[in-house]
Amino acid sequence: MASFFSRRPNTYCAFCKTPRRIPTKKRVGFYNFVMSMLFGAVMTFIVFQEFDPRGILFVILGLVVSEYFIQMRWRMSIMCKSCGFDPVVYLKNPTMAAEKVKSFMDMKKQDSQYLLARPLNLPSITPERLQEIQASQKKSEKTSGRFLSRSM
């Protein structure tokens, strides 16, 4: 059980409901700033043999590198390892997210490592819901151009 102050809280995948843990930190914090200052001081002393104002470049380099790795760690951990669902891609383009999940599941079918694995709790589309989706797609195709200016 994760505590209140845990850096990796327990969550569930939005698609397959698999329990997992993801880091909450997405940006650099005070600790990273202090470590970048220390890195800058040490590198300045190594390169220039004394403290020099040009050492600020090492501090900035340390902050850039730590920001990059923190964001990449968060970005790679948010994608579900069980079904391949990526919520960031889903927010930008749901059809591309569906294609990614489908290709991940196809790859998983062919891999012998997953033959005896526990099945996922994947959502299913009922026939009624399929008809609703098709009706809404037809409706959106019919009403294209509805928001034109009335002054034309």
84: left (phi over 0), alpha (psi -120 to 50) or beta: left
Looking at the structure, tell me whether residues 23 and 67 fall in a common domain.
yes
Report pLDDT for 113.
76
Looking at the structure, tell me whether residues 37 and 64 fall in a common domain.
yes
Report pLDDT for 1.
47
Looking at the structure, tell me whether residues 92 and 66 fall in a common domain.
no
Q: Is residue 151 part of a domain?
A: no
Looking at the structure, tell me whether residues 28 and 70 fall in a common domain.
yes
Looking at the structure, tell me whether residues 87 and 115 fall in a common domain.
yes
Looking at the structure, tell me whether residues 24 and 74 fall in a common domain.
yes
Report pLDDT for 64.
95
Report pLDDT for 146.
54
Report pLDDT for 110.
85
pLDDT in tens, the chain (152 residues): 445 555 666 788 888 888 888 877 888 899 999 999 999 999 999 998 888 888 899 999 999 999 999 999 888 888 888 888 888 888 888 888 889 988 988 888 888 777 777 777 777 778 888 888 888 878 766 655 555 555 54
Q: How many domains are contained in the chain?
A: 2
148: left (phi over 0), alpha (psi -120 to 50) or beta: beta
Q: What is the pLDDT of residues 39-55, one digit of tens each?
A: 999 999 999 888 888 88
Looking at the structure, tell me whether residues 50 and 102 fall in a common domain.
no
> Residue 69: phi, psi to the nearest 5?
-70, -35
DSSP state of 10: E
Q: Residue 44 is part of which domain span?
A: 19-79
Q: Is 51 within 8 Å of 45 (Cβ atoms)?
A: yes
Cβ atoms within 10 Å, residue 67: 15
Report pLDDT for 119.
72
**Residue burial 117-146, b: 16+ Cβ < 10 Å; e: rest:** eeebeeeeeeeeeeeeeeeeeeeeeeeeee
Q: For the chain, how are helix, strand and coil distributed in percent, rounded to 5?
A: 55, 5, 40
Looking at the structure, tell me whether residues 72 and 109 fall in a common domain.
no
